[in-house]
Structure 1
Amino acid sequence: MNKDNGPIPTSPLFALINKDRQWLPLQFPELPKVPNLINLSQLPTPEMFLEQLLNVTTKELLDTVMDFTFDEILTEHVQFLLYNKNGSITSMDMYSDKHRLINISEPIKFIIHGWQSTGDHEIVKDMVKSYHSIGIYNVFGVDWSSHSKRNYLHSARGAKKVGEIVGEFIFNLTKSNKKFLRKVHLIGHSLGAQVSGFAGKHIKKLTKGLQIGRITGKSKNCKYETVICKPFFF
Protein backbone atom coordinates (compact mmCIF):
# COMPACT_ATOMS: atom_id res chain seq x y z
CA MET A 1 0.00 0.00 0.00
CA ASN A 2 1.25 3.47 -0.91
CA LYS A 3 -0.36 5.97 1.50
CA ASP A 4 -0.04 8.86 -0.95
CA ASN A 5 -1.25 7.21 -4.13
CA GLY A 6 -3.18 4.15 -3.07
CA PRO A 7 -2.22 0.55 -3.75
CA ILE A 8 0.46 0.07 -6.38
CA PRO A 9 -1.05 -1.84 -9.29
CA THR A 10 0.66 -5.05 -10.31
CA SER A 11 0.05 -4.46 -14.01
CA PRO A 12 2.81 -2.59 -15.90
CA LEU A 13 0.16 -0.78 -17.94
CA PHE A 14 -0.42 1.87 -15.26
CA ALA A 15 1.41 5.10 -14.50
CA LEU A 16 1.12 8.27 -12.41
CA ILE A 17 -0.18 10.65 -15.04
CA ASN A 18 -2.71 13.01 -13.39
CA LYS A 19 -2.30 15.97 -11.07
CA ASP A 20 -3.64 14.06 -8.06
CA ARG A 21 -0.84 11.51 -8.43
CA GLN A 22 -3.23 8.63 -8.89
CA TRP A 23 -2.50 5.42 -10.72
CA LEU A 24 -4.37 5.51 -13.99
CA PRO A 25 -4.31 3.11 -16.94
CA LEU A 26 -2.05 4.10 -19.81
CA GLN A 27 -3.70 4.96 -23.10
CA PHE A 28 -1.88 3.61 -26.15
CA PRO A 29 -2.38 4.97 -29.67
CA GLU A 30 -3.88 2.64 -32.20
CA LEU A 31 -1.16 0.66 -33.93
CA PRO A 32 -0.94 0.81 -37.72
CA LYS A 33 -2.27 -2.18 -39.57
CA VAL A 34 0.35 -4.76 -40.43
CA PRO A 35 0.44 -5.35 -44.18
CA ASN A 36 -0.40 -8.80 -45.42
CA LEU A 37 2.55 -11.14 -45.63
CA ILE A 38 3.87 -12.07 -49.07
CA ASN A 39 1.96 -14.87 -50.65
CA LEU A 40 4.67 -17.48 -51.07
CA SER A 41 2.79 -19.05 -53.95
CA GLN A 42 3.45 -15.86 -55.94
CA LEU A 43 7.24 -16.07 -55.57
CA PRO A 44 9.17 -17.35 -58.60
CA THR A 45 10.51 -20.88 -58.52
CA PRO A 46 14.30 -21.30 -58.19
CA GLU A 47 14.41 -22.13 -61.90
CA MET A 48 12.51 -18.96 -62.85
CA PHE A 49 14.70 -16.86 -60.55
CA LEU A 50 17.93 -18.12 -62.13
CA GLU A 51 16.57 -17.67 -65.64
CA GLN A 52 15.68 -14.04 -64.92
CA LEU A 53 18.91 -13.32 -63.03
CA LEU A 54 21.33 -14.85 -65.53
CA ASN A 55 19.28 -14.41 -68.70
CA VAL A 56 19.60 -18.10 -69.59
CA THR A 57 17.24 -21.05 -69.69
CA THR A 58 17.37 -23.75 -67.04
CA LYS A 59 18.49 -26.26 -69.68
CA GLU A 60 21.39 -24.02 -70.75
CA LEU A 61 22.43 -23.63 -67.13
CA LEU A 62 22.34 -27.37 -66.43
CA ASP A 63 24.16 -28.20 -69.66
CA THR A 64 26.89 -25.70 -68.79
CA VAL A 65 27.31 -26.98 -65.24
CA MET A 66 27.53 -30.59 -66.44
CA ASP A 67 30.01 -29.85 -69.21
CA PHE A 68 31.65 -26.46 -68.62
CA THR A 69 34.09 -25.32 -71.29
CA PHE A 70 35.75 -21.98 -71.95
CA ASP A 71 35.01 -20.16 -75.21
CA GLU A 72 37.56 -18.77 -77.61
CA ILE A 73 37.61 -14.98 -77.86
CA LEU A 74 39.06 -12.95 -80.72
CA THR A 75 41.89 -10.71 -79.58
CA GLU A 76 40.33 -7.67 -81.26
CA HIS A 77 37.30 -8.08 -79.00
CA VAL A 78 39.38 -6.87 -76.05
CA GLN A 79 40.37 -3.21 -76.05
CA PHE A 80 42.84 -1.49 -73.73
CA LEU A 81 41.84 2.09 -72.96
CA LEU A 82 44.78 4.14 -71.70
CA TYR A 83 43.41 7.00 -69.59
CA ASN A 84 45.84 9.87 -69.93
CA LYS A 85 46.18 12.42 -67.14
CA ASN A 86 45.02 15.23 -69.48
CA GLY A 87 41.65 13.49 -69.80
CA SER A 88 42.15 11.95 -73.24
CA ILE A 89 41.82 8.22 -73.91
CA THR A 90 44.09 6.18 -76.18
CA SER A 91 42.58 2.91 -77.38
CA MET A 92 44.88 -0.06 -78.01
CA ASP A 93 44.57 -3.72 -78.83
CA MET A 94 46.93 -6.68 -78.63
CA TYR A 95 48.91 -5.64 -81.69
CA SER A 96 48.91 -1.89 -81.13
CA ASP A 97 51.98 0.15 -82.02
CA LYS A 98 51.12 2.73 -79.33
CA HIS A 99 53.08 1.04 -76.53
CA ARG A 100 55.61 3.85 -76.82
CA LEU A 101 53.04 6.13 -75.15
CA ILE A 102 53.41 4.17 -71.92
CA ASN A 103 56.16 4.91 -69.42
CA ILE A 104 56.61 1.41 -68.04
CA SER A 105 58.96 2.67 -65.35
CA GLU A 106 55.83 4.06 -63.64
CA PRO A 107 53.17 1.87 -61.96
CA ILE A 108 50.68 0.32 -64.39
CA LYS A 109 47.06 -0.24 -63.34
CA PHE A 110 44.64 -2.40 -65.32
CA ILE A 111 41.00 -1.97 -64.25
CA ILE A 112 38.95 -4.90 -65.54
CA HIS A 113 35.17 -4.55 -65.40
CA GLY A 114 32.68 -7.31 -64.70
CA TRP A 115 29.48 -8.67 -66.19
CA GLN A 116 27.18 -6.19 -67.97
CA SER A 117 29.76 -3.41 -67.66
CA THR A 118 32.27 -1.65 -69.93
CA GLY A 119 35.80 -0.29 -69.86
CA ASP A 120 34.53 3.29 -69.78
CA HIS A 121 31.95 2.78 -67.04
CA GLU A 122 31.67 5.49 -64.38
CA ILE A 123 33.17 3.14 -61.77
CA VAL A 124 36.27 2.79 -63.96
CA LYS A 125 36.47 6.53 -64.56
CA ASP A 126 36.18 7.26 -60.84
CA MET A 127 39.07 4.90 -60.09
CA VAL A 128 41.14 6.46 -62.87
CA LYS A 129 40.50 9.94 -61.48
CA SER A 130 41.53 8.79 -58.01
CA TYR A 131 44.83 7.35 -59.22
CA HIS A 132 45.70 10.42 -61.28
CA SER A 133 44.93 12.65 -58.29
CA ILE A 134 47.52 10.99 -56.04
CA GLY A 135 50.45 10.31 -58.34
CA ILE A 136 51.84 9.34 -61.72
CA TYR A 137 50.29 6.15 -63.05
CA ASN A 138 49.60 4.42 -66.33
CA VAL A 139 45.92 3.50 -65.95
CA PHE A 140 44.12 1.19 -68.36
CA GLY A 141 40.47 0.29 -68.53
CA VAL A 142 40.22 -3.17 -70.09
CA ASP A 143 37.09 -3.28 -72.23
CA TRP A 144 35.70 -6.72 -73.04
CA SER A 145 32.09 -5.55 -73.26
CA SER A 146 31.44 -7.34 -76.56
CA HIS A 147 31.27 -10.48 -74.40
CA SER A 148 30.49 -9.17 -70.90
CA LYS A 149 27.22 -7.58 -72.10
CA ARG A 150 25.77 -10.93 -73.17
CA ASN A 151 24.15 -13.57 -70.94
CA TYR A 152 26.12 -14.59 -67.88
CA LEU A 153 27.06 -18.08 -69.06
CA HIS A 154 28.59 -16.72 -72.26
CA SER A 155 30.52 -14.10 -70.28
CA ALA A 156 31.76 -16.68 -67.77
CA ARG A 157 32.91 -19.01 -70.54
CA GLY A 158 34.88 -16.16 -72.09
CA ALA A 159 36.66 -15.09 -68.90
CA LYS A 160 39.67 -17.40 -69.34
CA LYS A 161 40.45 -16.30 -72.89
CA VAL A 162 39.95 -12.62 -72.04
CA GLY A 163 42.41 -13.09 -69.17
CA GLU A 164 44.93 -14.70 -71.50
CA ILE A 165 44.62 -11.77 -73.92
CA VAL A 166 45.27 -9.37 -71.04
CA GLY A 167 48.26 -11.49 -70.04
CA GLU A 168 49.66 -11.41 -73.59
CA PHE A 169 49.27 -7.63 -73.70
CA ILE A 170 51.17 -7.20 -70.43
CA PHE A 171 53.84 -9.68 -71.55
CA ASN A 172 54.43 -7.70 -74.76
CA LEU A 173 54.40 -4.44 -72.83
CA THR A 174 57.12 -5.54 -70.42
CA LYS A 175 59.20 -7.86 -72.61
CA SER A 176 62.05 -5.33 -72.84
CA ASN A 177 62.65 -5.81 -69.12
CA LYS A 178 60.69 -8.31 -67.05
CA LYS A 179 61.52 -6.39 -63.87
CA PHE A 180 58.72 -4.01 -64.87
CA LEU A 181 56.21 -6.80 -64.17
CA ARG A 182 56.42 -5.88 -60.49
CA LYS A 183 54.84 -2.50 -61.35
CA VAL A 184 51.73 -4.12 -62.84
CA HIS A 185 48.55 -4.17 -60.75
CA LEU A 186 45.37 -5.86 -61.99
CA ILE A 187 42.11 -4.66 -60.42
CA GLY A 188 39.16 -6.88 -61.28
CA HIS A 189 35.57 -6.06 -60.43
CA SER A 190 33.14 -8.98 -60.08
CA LEU A 191 33.67 -11.33 -63.06
CA GLY A 192 36.62 -9.11 -63.96
CA ALA A 193 38.37 -10.51 -60.88
CA GLN A 194 38.22 -13.96 -62.51
CA VAL A 195 39.66 -12.44 -65.69
CA SER A 196 42.47 -10.94 -63.59
CA GLY A 197 43.30 -14.31 -62.08
CA PHE A 198 43.51 -15.94 -65.51
CA ALA A 199 45.71 -13.07 -66.72
CA GLY A 200 48.12 -13.54 -63.82
CA LYS A 201 48.25 -17.28 -64.41
CA HIS A 202 48.95 -16.81 -68.13
CA ILE A 203 51.77 -14.34 -67.46
CA LYS A 204 53.36 -16.84 -65.09
CA LYS A 205 53.21 -19.42 -67.89
CA LEU A 206 54.65 -17.05 -70.52
CA THR A 207 57.52 -15.94 -68.27
CA LYS A 208 58.21 -19.45 -66.95
CA GLY A 209 57.41 -18.60 -63.36
CA LEU A 210 57.46 -14.82 -62.94
CA GLN A 211 54.49 -12.99 -61.48
CA ILE A 212 52.97 -9.55 -61.77
CA GLY A 213 53.16 -7.28 -58.76
CA ARG A 214 49.60 -7.46 -57.53
CA ILE A 215 46.05 -8.62 -58.22
CA THR A 216 43.03 -7.13 -56.47
CA GLY A 217 39.55 -8.66 -56.62
CA LYS A 218 36.63 -6.39 -55.76
CA SER A 219 32.93 -7.07 -55.34
CA LYS A 220 30.19 -4.58 -56.22
CA ASN A 221 29.99 -2.80 -52.87
CA CYS A 222 33.27 -3.87 -51.29
CA LYS A 223 35.54 -1.14 -49.93
CA TYR A 224 38.30 -3.58 -49.15
CA GLU A 225 40.57 -5.63 -51.31
CA THR A 226 41.98 -9.13 -51.43
CA VAL A 227 45.59 -9.38 -52.57
CA ILE A 228 45.70 -12.63 -54.54
CA CYS A 229 49.40 -12.78 -55.34
CA LYS A 230 52.46 -11.28 -53.74
CA PRO A 231 55.20 -9.39 -55.60
CA PHE A 232 58.25 -11.32 -56.70
CA PHE A 233 61.76 -10.04 -56.12
CA PHE A 234 64.93 -10.12 -58.20
Structure 2
Amino acid sequence: SSRMTMLNVKEKVSFHLYNRQHIKDGVRIRKTRSLRSIQKRDTSNDVFDPKLETKFLIHGWQSSKGTDTIQNIKNNYLKVADMNVIAVDWSELAANIFYITPVIQTREVGETIAEMIEHLVTTRNASMAKIHVIGHSLGAHCAGFAGSKLGGRIGRISGLDPANPGFEGTPPSERLDPTDAIFVDVIHTSAGTAGISMRCGHIDFYPNGGARQPNCNYLPIDLLEACSHGRSHQYFAESIFTDQFISYPCRSWAGYKAKRCGKRLESMGDPVSRNARGLYYLETNGKFPYAKGNTQ
Protein backbone atom coordinates (compact mmCIF):
# COMPACT_ATOMS: atom_id res chain seq x y z
CA SER A 1 0.00 0.00 0.00
CA SER A 2 1.07 3.61 -0.40
CA ARG A 3 1.32 4.01 3.37
CA MET A 4 3.94 1.28 3.42
CA THR A 5 6.04 2.99 0.75
CA MET A 6 5.78 6.28 2.64
CA LEU A 7 7.20 4.61 5.76
CA ASN A 8 9.95 3.01 3.70
CA VAL A 9 10.96 6.37 2.29
CA LYS A 10 11.03 7.99 5.74
CA GLU A 11 13.32 5.28 7.10
CA LYS A 12 15.76 5.94 4.27
CA VAL A 13 16.30 9.62 5.04
CA SER A 14 18.93 10.39 7.67
CA PHE A 15 20.13 13.66 9.22
CA HIS A 16 23.74 14.42 10.12
CA LEU A 17 24.60 17.50 12.17
CA TYR A 18 27.95 19.23 11.76
CA ASN A 19 29.36 22.16 13.72
CA ARG A 20 32.81 23.39 14.73
CA GLN A 21 33.09 20.62 17.33
CA HIS A 22 32.04 18.03 14.75
CA ILE A 23 33.53 19.21 11.48
CA LYS A 24 34.55 15.94 9.85
CA ASP A 25 32.07 13.42 11.18
CA GLY A 26 28.57 14.66 11.71
CA VAL A 27 26.41 13.54 14.62
CA ARG A 28 23.36 11.63 13.46
CA ILE A 29 20.20 13.22 14.84
CA ARG A 30 16.83 11.51 15.03
CA LYS A 31 13.30 12.74 15.35
CA THR A 32 12.21 10.04 17.75
CA ARG A 33 14.12 8.67 20.67
CA SER A 34 13.86 4.93 20.91
CA LEU A 35 13.72 3.27 24.32
CA ARG A 36 17.24 2.01 23.73
CA SER A 37 18.59 5.49 23.04
CA ILE A 38 16.93 6.82 26.21
CA GLN A 39 18.57 4.05 28.23
CA LYS A 40 21.92 4.89 26.61
CA ARG A 41 21.32 8.56 27.45
CA ASP A 42 21.55 9.48 23.77
CA THR A 43 22.28 13.20 23.75
CA SER A 44 22.93 13.56 20.01
CA ASN A 45 20.08 16.03 19.54
CA ASP A 46 21.58 18.24 22.27
CA VAL A 47 24.43 18.99 19.87
CA PHE A 48 21.95 21.25 18.04
CA ASP A 49 22.39 24.83 19.26
CA PRO A 50 19.25 26.94 18.70
CA LYS A 51 21.24 30.17 19.08
CA LEU A 52 23.23 29.43 15.93
CA GLU A 53 22.15 29.70 12.32
CA THR A 54 20.90 26.45 10.82
CA LYS A 55 21.57 25.17 7.29
CA PHE A 56 20.06 22.02 5.79
CA LEU A 57 21.97 20.65 2.78
CA ILE A 58 20.22 18.25 0.39
CA HIS A 59 22.00 16.33 -2.37
CA GLY A 60 20.53 15.26 -5.69
CA TRP A 61 20.22 12.19 -7.91
CA GLN A 62 22.92 9.49 -7.53
CA SER A 63 24.63 11.52 -4.85
CA SER A 64 25.05 11.38 -1.06
CA LYS A 65 26.11 13.42 1.96
CA GLY A 66 29.74 12.43 1.36
CA THR A 67 30.02 14.11 -2.03
CA ASP A 68 31.50 17.54 -2.80
CA THR A 69 28.02 18.97 -3.26
CA ILE A 70 27.44 18.76 0.48
CA GLN A 71 30.95 18.65 1.93
CA ASN A 72 32.33 21.80 0.26
CA ILE A 73 29.34 23.92 1.25
CA LYS A 74 29.41 22.53 4.81
CA ASN A 75 33.16 23.07 5.18
CA ASN A 76 33.01 26.62 3.83
CA TYR A 77 30.17 27.61 6.15
CA LEU A 78 32.02 26.25 9.18
CA LYS A 79 35.15 28.18 8.17
CA VAL A 80 33.09 31.38 8.31
CA ALA A 81 31.20 30.78 11.57
CA ASP A 82 30.01 28.13 13.97
CA MET A 83 26.55 26.96 12.94
CA ASN A 84 24.29 23.94 12.74
CA VAL A 85 24.87 22.40 9.32
CA ILE A 86 22.57 19.44 8.81
CA ALA A 87 23.28 17.17 5.85
CA VAL A 88 20.22 15.27 4.68
CA ASP A 89 21.19 11.88 3.29
CA TRP A 90 18.67 10.14 1.03
CA SER A 91 21.32 8.40 -1.06
CA GLU A 92 19.75 4.94 -0.94
CA LEU A 93 16.67 6.36 -2.70
CA ALA A 94 18.58 8.81 -4.93
CA ALA A 95 20.81 5.99 -6.22
CA ASN A 96 17.94 4.51 -8.25
CA ILE A 97 18.98 4.56 -11.92
CA PHE A 98 15.32 4.80 -12.89
CA TYR A 99 15.30 8.57 -12.40
CA ILE A 100 11.49 8.77 -12.27
CA THR A 101 11.33 6.89 -8.92
CA PRO A 102 13.42 9.45 -6.99
CA VAL A 103 11.43 12.20 -8.77
CA ILE A 104 8.25 10.82 -7.21
CA GLN A 105 9.99 10.39 -3.83
CA THR A 106 11.14 14.02 -3.59
CA ARG A 107 7.80 14.97 -2.02
CA GLU A 108 8.08 12.34 0.72
CA VAL A 109 11.74 13.17 1.33
CA GLY A 110 10.74 16.83 1.62
CA GLU A 111 7.97 16.00 4.07
CA THR A 112 10.45 13.99 6.16
CA ILE A 113 12.74 17.03 6.27
CA ALA A 114 9.75 19.19 7.28
CA GLU A 115 9.08 16.84 10.21
CA MET A 116 12.70 17.14 11.37
CA ILE A 117 12.51 20.95 11.17
CA GLU A 118 9.22 20.92 13.11
CA HIS A 119 10.87 18.63 15.68
CA LEU A 120 13.85 21.00 16.14
CA VAL A 121 11.48 23.95 16.48
CA THR A 122 9.35 22.26 19.14
CA THR A 123 11.98 20.30 21.11
CA ARG A 124 15.14 22.40 20.64
CA ASN A 125 13.62 25.86 20.31
CA ALA A 126 14.94 26.38 16.77
CA SER A 127 13.62 29.41 14.92
CA MET A 128 11.78 28.57 11.69
CA ALA A 129 12.67 31.96 10.16
CA LYS A 130 16.39 31.33 10.79
CA ILE A 131 16.44 28.05 8.89
CA HIS A 132 18.09 28.04 5.46
CA VAL A 133 17.62 24.96 3.26
CA ILE A 134 19.98 24.46 0.31
CA GLY A 135 19.21 21.77 -2.26
CA HIS A 136 20.97 20.69 -5.46
CA SER A 137 19.13 19.14 -8.43
CA LEU A 138 16.36 16.86 -7.10
CA GLY A 139 17.36 18.14 -3.64
CA ALA A 140 16.11 21.61 -4.60
CA HIS A 141 12.61 20.21 -5.10
CA CYS A 142 12.90 18.25 -1.82
CA ALA A 143 13.61 21.64 -0.21
CA GLY A 144 10.53 23.08 -1.92
CA PHE A 145 8.29 20.28 -0.67
CA ALA A 146 9.71 20.66 2.86
CA GLY A 147 8.97 24.38 2.72
CA SER A 148 5.47 24.00 1.37
CA LYS A 149 4.66 21.37 4.03
CA LEU A 150 5.68 24.01 6.62
CA GLY A 151 3.47 26.65 5.02
CA GLY A 152 6.33 28.69 3.56
CA ARG A 153 7.55 29.73 7.03
CA ILE A 154 11.19 28.64 6.55
CA GLY A 155 13.48 31.66 6.29
CA ARG A 156 15.23 30.79 3.05
CA ILE A 157 15.56 28.12 0.38
CA SER A 158 18.43 28.16 -2.12
CA GLY A 159 17.79 26.01 -5.19
CA LEU A 160 21.01 24.97 -6.92
CA ASP A 161 20.11 24.06 -10.51
CA PRO A 162 16.74 22.48 -9.60
CA ALA A 163 16.18 19.31 -11.64
CA ASN A 164 14.37 19.64 -14.97
CA PRO A 165 12.96 16.22 -16.03
CA GLY A 166 9.67 15.66 -14.23
CA PHE A 167 9.43 19.28 -13.07
CA GLU A 168 9.76 21.69 -16.02
CA GLY A 169 6.38 23.21 -16.85
CA THR A 170 4.58 21.72 -13.83
CA PRO A 171 2.38 23.89 -11.58
CA PRO A 172 4.11 25.55 -8.58
CA SER A 173 2.70 23.00 -6.10
CA GLU A 174 4.63 20.23 -7.92
CA ARG A 175 8.11 21.82 -7.69
CA LEU A 176 10.22 24.46 -5.97
CA ASP A 177 8.47 27.85 -6.14
CA PRO A 178 8.61 31.21 -4.31
CA THR A 179 5.81 30.36 -1.87
CA ASP A 180 7.94 27.59 -0.31
CA ALA A 181 9.93 29.96 1.95
CA ILE A 182 10.06 33.59 3.04
CA PHE A 183 12.87 33.99 0.49
CA VAL A 184 13.78 31.65 -2.39
CA ASP A 185 16.91 32.19 -4.50
CA VAL A 186 17.80 29.96 -7.45
CA ILE A 187 20.94 29.42 -9.54
CA HIS A 188 20.44 27.86 -13.00
CA THR A 189 23.51 26.26 -14.63
CA SER A 190 22.20 23.57 -17.00
CA ALA A 191 18.81 25.06 -17.88
CA GLY A 192 16.87 23.01 -20.41
CA THR A 193 18.85 19.78 -19.94
CA ALA A 194 19.54 18.47 -16.42
CA GLY A 195 18.32 21.71 -14.84
CA ILE A 196 15.01 23.52 -14.99
CA SER A 197 14.92 26.69 -17.09
CA MET A 198 11.73 28.25 -15.70
CA ARG A 199 11.85 30.71 -12.83
CA CYS A 200 11.48 29.01 -9.45
CA GLY A 201 12.40 31.72 -6.95
CA HIS A 202 11.96 35.32 -5.88
CA ILE A 203 15.27 35.82 -7.64
CA ASP A 204 16.68 33.54 -10.35
CA PHE A 205 20.31 33.77 -11.46
CA TYR A 206 21.43 32.60 -14.89
CA PRO A 207 25.27 32.59 -14.85
CA ASN A 208 26.71 32.48 -18.38
CA GLY A 209 23.15 32.42 -19.70
CA GLY A 210 22.15 29.57 -17.38
CA ALA A 211 22.55 26.68 -19.83
CA ARG A 212 26.10 25.61 -20.63
CA GLN A 213 28.91 26.65 -18.32
CA PRO A 214 32.41 27.60 -19.56
CA ASN A 215 34.93 24.74 -19.85
CA CYS A 216 32.14 22.17 -19.68
CA ASN A 217 32.09 21.51 -23.40
CA TYR A 218 35.22 19.38 -23.77
CA LEU A 219 33.66 16.38 -22.06
CA PRO A 220 31.92 13.53 -23.87
CA ILE A 221 28.33 14.40 -24.62
CA ASP A 222 26.71 12.45 -21.77
CA LEU A 223 28.87 14.12 -19.12
CA LEU A 224 28.39 17.54 -20.60
CA GLU A 225 25.30 18.34 -18.62
CA ALA A 226 26.68 16.80 -15.43
CA CYS A 227 29.53 19.30 -15.57
CA SER A 228 27.23 22.32 -15.95
CA HIS A 229 24.70 20.87 -13.48
CA GLY A 230 27.44 20.59 -10.85
CA ARG A 231 28.70 24.15 -11.31
CA SER A 232 25.70 25.49 -9.40
CA HIS A 233 26.94 24.04 -6.10
CA GLN A 234 30.55 25.04 -6.85
CA TYR A 235 29.46 28.65 -7.40
CA PHE A 236 27.40 28.56 -4.22
CA ALA A 237 30.24 27.09 -2.14
CA GLU A 238 32.58 29.82 -3.39
CA SER A 239 29.99 32.54 -2.72
CA ILE A 240 30.18 31.79 1.02
CA PHE A 241 33.58 33.55 0.89
CA THR A 242 32.91 36.23 -1.74
CA ASP A 243 30.28 38.71 -2.89
CA GLN A 244 31.96 39.04 -6.29
CA PHE A 245 29.45 37.00 -8.30
CA ILE A 246 28.10 40.39 -9.35
CA SER A 247 24.88 40.02 -11.33
CA TYR A 248 22.73 42.32 -13.45
CA PRO A 249 18.93 42.49 -13.72
CA CYS A 250 18.10 41.65 -17.32
CA ARG A 251 15.23 40.23 -19.34
CA SER A 252 17.47 37.73 -21.12
CA TRP A 253 21.04 36.62 -21.83
CA ALA A 254 20.86 38.46 -25.14
CA GLY A 255 19.90 41.59 -23.20
CA TYR A 256 22.87 41.08 -20.88
CA LYS A 257 25.24 40.70 -23.83
CA ALA A 258 23.83 43.85 -25.41
CA LYS A 259 24.37 45.62 -22.05
CA ARG A 260 20.66 46.36 -21.69
CA CYS A 261 20.44 45.60 -17.97
CA GLY A 262 19.05 47.49 -15.01
CA LYS A 263 21.22 49.31 -12.51
CA ARG A 264 20.45 47.35 -9.38
CA LEU A 265 23.33 44.90 -8.97
CA GLU A 266 23.09 41.80 -6.82
CA SER A 267 25.54 39.19 -5.49
CA MET A 268 24.68 35.64 -6.54
CA GLY A 269 24.75 32.89 -3.93
CA ASP A 270 25.00 33.08 -0.18
CA PRO A 271 25.30 36.92 0.16
CA VAL A 272 22.21 37.77 -1.96
CA SER A 273 19.97 40.38 -0.33
CA ARG A 274 16.61 39.07 0.85
CA ASN A 275 14.59 41.75 -0.91
CA ALA A 276 16.12 41.08 -4.35
CA ARG A 277 13.61 40.09 -7.05
CA GLY A 278 13.64 39.09 -10.71
CA LEU A 279 16.00 37.59 -13.29
CA TYR A 280 19.72 38.22 -12.99
CA TYR A 281 22.58 37.47 -15.38
CA LEU A 282 26.36 37.35 -14.97
CA GLU A 283 29.52 35.81 -16.38
CA THR A 284 31.89 33.58 -14.43
CA ASN A 285 35.37 32.23 -15.01
CA GLY A 286 35.75 28.73 -16.46
CA LYS A 287 37.68 27.45 -13.47
CA PHE A 288 38.09 28.17 -9.75
CA PRO A 289 37.93 30.91 -8.58
CA TYR A 290 34.74 31.33 -10.60
CA ALA A 291 33.68 34.77 -9.35
CA LYS A 292 34.53 37.51 -11.84
CA GLY A 293 33.39 40.73 -10.14
CA ASN A 294 31.93 43.46 -12.37
CA THR A 295 31.54 42.21 -15.92
CA GLN A 296 29.67 45.16 -17.43
TM-score by length of 1: 0.60
Deviates more, 1:90-99 or 1:129-138: 90-99
Deviates more, 1:178-187 or 1:130-139: 178-187
Q: What fraction of aligned residue pairs are identical, expressed as a percent?
A: 31
- Determine the C-alpha separation between the residues in 1 that align with 2:144 and 2:70: 19
Residue in 1 that maps onto 2:159: 217
1:106-155 Cα deviation digits (max 9, x unpaired)? 11000000001001212211111100111121001100011100021111
1:122 to 60, 68, 76: 68
- Determine the C-alpha separation between the residues in 1 that align with 2:70 and 2:141: 17
Aligned length: 154
Residue in 1 that maps onto 2:146: 199
2:114 matches 1:167: yes
Structure 2 unaligned residues grouped into runs of 5+: 34-41, 162-229, 236-267, 276-296
Residue in 1 that maps onto 2:133: 186
Cα–Cα, structure 1 residues 226 and 153, in superposed 2: closer, same or farther, change >3 Å? farther
Residue in 1 that maps onto 2:53: 107
1:92 to 4, 20, 29: 29
Cα–Cα, structure 1 residues 226 and 193, in superposed 2: closer, same or farther, change >3 Å? farther
Is the contact between residue 160 and residue 198 of structure 1 (CA under 8 Å) also seen in structure 2?
yes
2:88 matches 1:142: yes
Residue in 1 that maps onto 2:11: 76
**Deviation for aligned residue 1:76:** 1.9
Residue in 2 that maps onto 1:36: none
Residue in 2 that maps onto 1:7: none
- Determine the C-alpha separation between the residues in 1 that align with 2:56 and 2:28: 13
**2:94 counterpart letter in structure 1:** S
**What secondary structure sits across from 1:175 in the alignment?**
helix
More relative contact order in 1 or in 2 (CA 8 Å, sep 6+)?
1
- Determine the C-alpha separation between the residues in 1 that align with 2:103 and 2:135: 14
- Determine the C-alpha separation between the residues in 2 that align with 1:213 and 1:148: 26
- Determine the C-alpha separation between the residues in 1 that align with 2:126 and 2:116: 16
**Deviation for aligned residue 1:85:** 1.8
**What secondary structure sits across from 2:231 in the alignment?**
coil
- Determine the C-alpha separation between the residues in 2 that align with 1:191 and 1:167: 16
Larger-Rg structure: 1
Structure 1 unaligned residues grouped into runs of 5+: 1-70, 205-209
Is the contact between residue 69 and residue 136 of structure 2 (CA under 8 Å) also seen in structure 1?
no
**2:18 counterpart letter in structure 1:** Y
- Determine the C-alpha separation between the residues in 1 that align with 2:126 and 2:20: 24
**What secondary structure sits across from 1:140 in the alignment?**
strand
Cα–Cα, structure 1 residues 198 and 178, in superposed 2: closer, same or farther, change >3 Å? farther
- Determine the C-alpha separation between the residues in 1 that align with 2:32 and 2:123: 16
- Determine the C-alpha separation between the residues in 2 that align with 1:149 and 1:160: 16
- Determine the C-alpha separation between the residues in 2 that align with 1:78 and 1:95: 13
**What secondary structure sits across from 1:115 in the alignment?**
coil
1:201-231 Cα deviation digits (max 9, x unpaired)? 1112xxxxx601100000232234499xx79
**2:231 counterpart letter in structure 1:** N
Is the contact between residue 111 and residue 145 of structure 2 (CA under 8 Å) also seen in structure 1?
yes
